[in-house]
Structure 1
């Protein structure tokens, strides 16, 4: 029997992300983890993956959700291997030419699935469409350090940054740096491209039945070898218990976002197993619009932190499916400095601070929440009950997923709102906190000039020790300012059919090309 692949994060990765910023060069074989041998008849797998929600679009430059689907259609210049190490993708090597210039040598002979050639102009086009302010790309902050992209020749690209940016290779490992075909994208326009995407990835788009499923089929001409899974259907199954039932009944092969109460069902199953990745999920918090009353007063924000018993929520509501944290940076990210001290559960202290702020009788407010997070409604209701004990009346407003994706980045959510964030697959503090703390960013409802300056310095410094120091200072300041209620970081739980070799990854990607059939 083939040994089941296990995905472990290299303990040296965090340091390696920014290593050798003066001169870096990578030349390696094609990214590990992808099939490279011809598939036999017995390997012609067709699988179904049950997810908690449908996609809102399939354009990697303009995503408002995770990239689990589009990652299979498109490629990036840099990829991550089995141990989360950076390995060549559409670029065969990269090096730093000077403080602000990175050079990527591109893989030759690659075509998009419509026959269009992959080259330097495609890379330039893909980045410029995201960087264009008129595009209003929701993920532009991830690449906003880039000043311009130059096509030096057909297979050489220079990425020139506004300031030194040691994270360019890691930024080119995730959306929105996935490469799109310029001619096709221009011909059909952004709206149609998001519904009928074309990429160079291991899978080709077949169909999208909105609200139901997305179907992909294997790219037989994929530059890194045809995948063993020949067809994959991503089904939208919002109800957690229904997802698990579908897995146990054999209707689907992998399910994401397994709820706390359903873990035991999978663990006791005879045809499926539970794949657990601790603290690989979102860091969930309650955000405040800090420029409106009463949340423009730090005493009010601090008071609400003291009023919440996070341990009780984690233990009793989430049944241990998350880890309480005051850190905005995960333990697998560069920049993590351990767990900082935050706010103990102290309702009396909360009442005292509210009175000092001029709200001895509390106030009323709406709390928006969304189904993206485990037990979101139950968690919101418990928060409402705990805040009621200190005089704050909360109306819980469950917002439909597709609506919430538009409300939050446009700043139209309620003055209190639930949101989760993570470093995704950059595994660096910059991605974990910049977009939600830097004033002026789409997902930020906080402004502190000192924090802004430190965030900007940290993303341009080539000194690892200085970056570590800055991120610790930022966290200490943010905890004091309390622009949110600090809650927890979710664990990731997947249900996996026993007929498959696959386990969840710390970067939360779902690379279908790495899935293989169990053999006797």
Structure 2
């Protein structure tokens, strides 16, 4: 019987662990995801929710968020067991755990792997998060178990960059070198689960890493199944073919799923802030009056009612609520008449049509269709070009859509969100591209000065000023913040209380079990 067939039947399987030793027979956790396929499993390129969820089960950082939490004050040791910093905050020394093993027989983690990983994460050609590491002056191995990082300038949260999240994941240097481009579909980490295989458009199968440094996982396998249809995924969950189900952040879905016997619905942080990013360098959005028309067309209260009070709240700035440095802004009020007048002033008395690329991911598509209706009331017709989610990410980074709906959560400090989405260095189609789809750069000075300031009050003032400038220039239009939703069988015990997850899905750890 194949591992996949066993997973589908929910039977226990004998797992050959990543280190090659035969692990004890243990159950398979079956997770349903709203996806056609995974994209890139190189963690430094894992930008979509689909990829972020699974890479967090396979990789570690030097430090980590406490499982179930996104509170920066609860960051704790991971691959590093301790660290020190210099008085000026620019030199950090990390002491690694000894005996940590990579998957697939790639040997023990050493400082060379950490150095190679952080250099990779900080290089645009090998990472989607390189801009986060621009202050890294040197990264060097002092000895096989000690890494020293020297910064060219202070950063708001050095530990935040080194967590088990985005560019902070540590990879096997040797595996990256040997596998090259194939590493994106055949990655090697140190986490509790190792990739066994990916069956395109079907599933990614993970095997327990018996040599995991925190102890062998209680699960034998994780079957990460790609089921893009909400109805099909929900039916599979109701028929007990899935143990965990990616949920819709929708009140009706939550209420209905809570009625399924033996089911727990987890609603957790962070709130993903959805924004309409407007390309200020291309027609029609190079005219601020058109951008202002879009802003007046949006009715955030209506969007919250559509999504549901349990899972949604109005966006209040171009940085999510709760982030250090968030500053609530006075946003344009919903006013279709004003929007039409602005369009007429801009030379579009009969309205205009905008061709927009958008993902088929159901949750994002449903919300965009509501936005589409709001814009139509104000004379703006959206010609939605719906594509597969991985294709969506590729095409918006090629600057092929003048309007980009993007929903994201980041490490909860304003600097990272401002830098990735609103700094000139992060403009797409540039050598240092991240996710600045608007091509705005008007607040660069404030963002840069706040980043290096050692005075928290000065940082807060500059971050607030940056948000005000960006809102006034209508670089983007905040929509709503949506909390994350997953359903699980009540016999699935994650091993912690799920209050938040920066990977945007439940962390499956060595303590996760099926009771």
Please name the residue that 2:352 is paired with. Answer: 363
Q: By how many angstroms is 1:518 displaced?
A: 6.3
Query: Do structure 1's residue 385 and structure 2's residue 373 form an aligned pair?
Result: yes
1:117-156 per-position Cα deviation (integer Å, ceiling 9, x unaligned)? 21111111112223234x2522212323222211111111
| Structure 2 unmatched ranges of 5 or more | 1-22, 427-432
- Contact 1:47 1:232 (8 Å CA) reproduced: yes
Q: 2:399 aligns with which of 395, 411, 423?
A: 411
Query: Do structure 1's residue 350 and structure 2's residue 339 form an aligned pair?
Result: yes
Please name the residue that 1:32 is paired with. Answer: none
Please name the residue that 1:117 is paired with. Answer: 108
Please name the residue that 2:259 is paired with. Answer: 268
Please name the residue that 1:17 is paired with. Answer: none
Please name the residue that 2:455 is paired with. Answer: 463
Q: Distance in 2 between matches of 1:158 and 1:282?
A: 33
Q: Distance in 2 between matches of 1:252 and 1:184?
A: 32
Q: Distance in 2 between matches of 1:239 and 1:172?
A: 35
Q: 2:121 aligns with which of 118, 130, 150?
A: 130
Q: Distance in 1 between matches of 2:329 and 2:241?
A: 44
Q: Which runs of 4+ in 1 moved over 4 A?
A: 317-320, 447-450
SS in structure 1 opposite 2:353?
Answer: strand
1:231-257 per-position Cα deviation (integer Å, ceiling 9, x unaligned)? 111111111222222222111111123
| Alpha carbons of structure 1 residues 410 and 231: separation in structure 2 relative to 1, 3 Å | same
- Contact 1:314 1:320 (8 Å CA) reproduced: no
Query: Do structure 1's residue 163 and structure 2's residue 150 form an aligned pair?
Result: no
Q: Distance in 1 between matches of 2:66 and 2:374?
A: 44
Query: Do structure 1's residue 431 and structure 2's residue 420 form an aligned pair?
Result: no
**TM-score scaled to structure 2, two decimals?**
0.86
1:274-312 per-position Cα deviation (integer Å, ceiling 9, x unaligned)? 1112x5242112221110122112221111111222222
- Contact 1:112 1:199 (8 Å CA) reproduced: yes
Q: Distance in 2 between matches of 1:417 and 1:300?
A: 15
**TM-score scaled to structure 1, two decimals?**
0.85
Q: 2:39 aligns with which of 33, 56, 62?
A: 56
Within 5 A, what are the aligned runs for 1:484-499?
Answer: 484-499=476-491
Q: By how many angstroms is 1:317 displaced?
A: 5.7
Please name the residue that 1:397 is paired with. Answer: 385
SS in structure 2 opposite 1:512?
Answer: coil
Q: Distance in 2 between matches of 1:80 and 1:404?
A: 29
Please name the residue that 1:65 is paired with. Answer: 48
- Contact 2:106 2:174 (8 Å CA) reproduced: no
Q: Distance in 2 between matches of 1:368 and 1:486?
A: 18
Q: Distance in 1 between matches of 2:323 and 2:378?
A: 36
Query: Do structure 1's residue 188 and structure 2's residue 179 form an aligned pair?
Result: yes
SS in structure 2 opposite 1:343?
Answer: coil
Q: Distance in 2 between matches of 1:319 and 1:241?
A: 22
| Alpha carbons of structure 1 residues 515 and 116: separation in structure 2 relative to 1, 3 Å | closer
Q: By how many angstroms is 1:169 displaced?
A: 0.9
Task: Supply the RMSD in Å over aligned alpha carbons.
Answer: 2.3
Query: Do structure 1's residue 444 and structure 2's residue 444 form an aligned pair?
Result: no
SS in structure 1 opposite 2:424?
Answer: coil
Q: By how many angstroms is 1:509 displaced?
A: 4.4
| Structure 1 unmatched ranges of 5 or more | 1-39
